[in-house]
Structure 1
């Protein structure tokens, strides 16, 4: 595995390089760069690395500028001392976003995720999606003509932020004024979004606002049960902690959605 590190703090760069080599003894750190300009030049003159570890605040600007100046055709793990850039990094389909000071366990989890996704990136043989659209959005560019629905959701676990594919989500719900999601394999995460925000950004063919507390994924619905007053009771997998009901007014629409 060939790794390119872009980090403008020499101490942080040495520490990151040491952790990579300890966690992945077969990995080769190709070089360590400290600026947007140096990174663009290097990428234009060399073969693409397998993985890019990319700090956001560099000596000559933000590393997002790199993507407007050259193609980046490898997975990216962003590193930064600030969490304010998480959504921007998320939009360029980075595989992870680590907050400094980076802990070895967190980097190990990121590298494990890289290994899981490496085959998919290699098979694509094309630039990572959404880099151009990110830069247009940052500059006030026009919105795309076609609706764009989320294919992943950013979650936070401790000091680590990472995306969950919407295809892996069973449902979103609110409890005690907190928005959460549960995955198909029964993992649960807190979110910084409201259900209203999520409803607007999710593909309506894949997700349905069952009631005020739940947005359910098509694949999570196992059975429907008739309930009092012509309501529907949903049997979901994984099973939620409370009953999930669809109102009489929504029942027909929900059944039509389920049968599309």
Structure 2
């Protein structure tokens, strides 16, 4: 339950509710949370929309909720149509297309499964810092103010591009893009169905504008979507060589030795 005037890192345990439809994933998430903060008190694990609604109607709401978007009997967003949930939420899911919808609610963060411990730690720290900021000046923690603060500081990533196609302009959505590449000082989009469009941007600029969970800067020439990776090969001197789909114009897309660990982590957390 939520106690007035308490911050997340108080010596008394916090209360969290973890709504998760896969028991193994739920157990792993609990283990990770406990490893990050042993004072945390997990008060319940619920696997359905119906049971979640009943729980919120009968119980005091927790300090923080970990909420899987897809539960056993439907989408968790439907919970909010039946009950007013004031607690901050960290959403979890295996699918990134729900991110925008998640952030319309009291979302502290959005984690893709399988959940990476370091990213989970960052999300919890984000919640703690924001809550502590309010606790210094107010006795009562206001979840709505937390939500407003998050909305002001939330990073907005590009979701589409307007590109030229002959004498017309068309919209290319992020979900359609396999990768970006640069050639002769120009930058091009390659879509999953192997269409090519030029855009007025640099890869450096695109890297800042695009969601890093979806796109990765493989090297100076390529910014790739995880869905574009067809095969990954070990390469000499501990490097990696990628084969993309659609095939890249450059045969050798090499991940340098210094980026291999970061790249593997990015791929494995998608």
CA deviation vs aligned residue, 1:235-260 (integer Å, no higher than 9, x gap): xxxxxxxxxxxxxxxxxxxxxxxxxx
Distance 1:179 1:94, change over 3 A: farther
Structure 1 gaps of 5+ residues are 131-148, 157-173, 181-187, 193-260
CA deviation vs aligned residue, 1:2-43 (integer Å, no higher than 9, x gap): 110000101000000111111110000001000111111111
**Aligned residue for 2:42?**
29
Q: In 1, are the aligned partners of 2:107 and 2:147 still within 8 Å (CA)? A: no
Q: What secondary structure sits across from 1:53 in the alignment?
A: strand
Alignment of 1:134-153 (within 5 A): 152-153=154-155
Q: In 2, are the aligned partners of 1:155 and 1:191 still within 8 Å (CA)? A: yes
Q: In 2, are the aligned partners of 1:92 and 1:128 still within 8 Å (CA)? A: no
Q: In 2, are the aligned partners of 1:23 and 1:108 still within 8 Å (CA)? A: yes
**Aligned residue for 2:142?**
124
**Aligned residue for 2:77?**
64
Q: In 2, are the aligned partners of 1:3 and 1:28 still within 8 Å (CA)? A: yes
Separation in structure 2 between the aligned mates of residue 125 and residue 114 of structure 1, nearest angstrom: 11
Distance 1:155 1:114, change over 3 A: farther
Q: In 2, are the aligned partners of 1:73 and 1:127 still within 8 Å (CA)? A: no
Separation in structure 2 between the aligned mates of residue 155 and residue 17 of structure 1, nearest angstrom: 30
Separation in structure 2 between the aligned mates of residue 128 and residue 38 of structure 1, nearest angstrom: 26
Alignment of 1:1-260 (within 5 A): 1-119=14-132, 120=134, 123-124=141-142, 126=144, 152-155=154-157, 175-176=201-202, 179=205, 189-191=208-210
Separation in structure 1 between the aligned mates of residue 123 and residue 46 of structure 2, nearest angstrom: 21
Q: In 2, are the aligned partners of 1:51 and 1:74 still within 8 Å (CA)? A: yes
Distance 1:117 1:150, change over 3 A: closer
1:126 to partner: Cα distance: 4.9
1:179 to partner: Cα distance: 5.0
TM-score by length of 2: 0.50
Separation in structure 2 between the aligned mates of residue 94 and residue 115 of structure 1, nearest angstrom: 13
Q: How many pairs were matched up? A: 150
1:117 to partner: Cα distance: 1.8
Separation in structure 2 between the aligned mates of residue 96 and residue 44 of structure 1, nearest angstrom: 24
CA deviation vs aligned residue, 1:186-223 (integer Å, no higher than 9, x gap): xx83336xxxxxxxxxxxxxxxxxxxxxxxxxxxxxxx
Which of structures 1 and 2 has the larger relative contact order (alpha carbons within 8 angstroms, sep 6+)? 2
Q: In 1, are the aligned partners of 2:87 and 2:143 still within 8 Å (CA)? A: no
TM-score by length of 1: 0.52
**Aligned residue for 1:252?**
none
* Structural RMSD (CA): 2.8
Separation in structure 2 between the aligned mates of residue 150 and residue 21 of structure 1, nearest angstrom: 30
